[in-house]
Amino acid sequence: MQNIYRDGRFDPDIWTLVADDETLPDGGHALIGKARWLAERDVLAKSRLSLGLALAAGDTLDDIVSDLPRFSVIALEFPKFADGRSYSTARLLRETHGFKGELRAIGDVLIDQIPLMRRCGFDAFAISNEPTRRALEEGHFPDVPYYTQPIADRGEVPAGTRPWLRVPAASAPPVR
């Protein structure tokens, strides 16, 4: 069982990523792909499984928007650190579609990306990069205290007289 980084620590992951060609478990928590959800929607909606959705980088949301409330976790893939398509999907999920569940980054996640991912609405991270895992376990976490774009789904206040330079709101959870 892999550990998931959230709220400043690693926790056991109760979710199982199930490939489209794999047999689903009888119960528990399963992350399934968009293609499987679309192909088996009626059967899956009636199953005893707690369902999460795993979206590949570049997957669109248009044909599943009405289904988003069914998922308590949506995992967005980062196939390589330079592929930023899932940042945009995260912002759409939080800001446009109001997704309130766990938003998880999976794949090639590096430590310097995590603060920016948090700003887009991610709150959990499946870390496979060993240097990143080690740095987080040792309590190293880079922060971005000033920024120009608002945090997805959080309040904020302008800094000084330059409204384009912002700081996190005191009421917002720390970016850690």
| DSSP output for 45-81 | HTSSSEEEEEE-TT--STTTGGGGGG-SEEEEEESST
Among candidates 96, 149, 140, 138, which has minimal Cα distance to 114? Answer: 140
**Quick one: how far is CA 66 from the chain centroid?**
19
pLDDT at 171: 43
Task: Give the range of the structural domain holding residue 35, as residue numbers without chain letter.
Answer: 3-145
pLDDT, tens digit, 9 for 90 and up, residues 68-85: 999 999 999 998 878 889
Q: Into how many domains does the chain fold?
A: 1
pLDDT at 169: 53
Residue 135 lies in a domain: yes
The residue to which tokens 């528990």 are assigned: 28
pLDDT at 36: 96
Strand order in 29-33's β-sheet? 9-12, 3-6, 124-127, 102-107, 73-78, 50-55, 29-33, 15-17
The pair of structure tokens assigned to 15 is 């979710």
Predicted model pTM? 0.81
Residue 174 lies in a domain: no
Residue 170 lies in a domain: no
CATH of the domain at 60: 3.20.20.70
pLDDT at 154: 54
Q: Which residues of the chain are under the pLDDT cut of 50?
A: 171-176
Residue 160 lies in a domain: no
Other beta carbons within 10 Å of 84: 14
Residue 125 lies in a domain: yes
The residue to which tokens 């199930």 are assigned: 18
Residue 11 lies in a domain: yes
Residue 176 lies in a domain: no
Residues β-bridged to residue 166: 147, 158
Structure letter (DSSP) for residue 96: I
Residue 175 lies in a domain: no
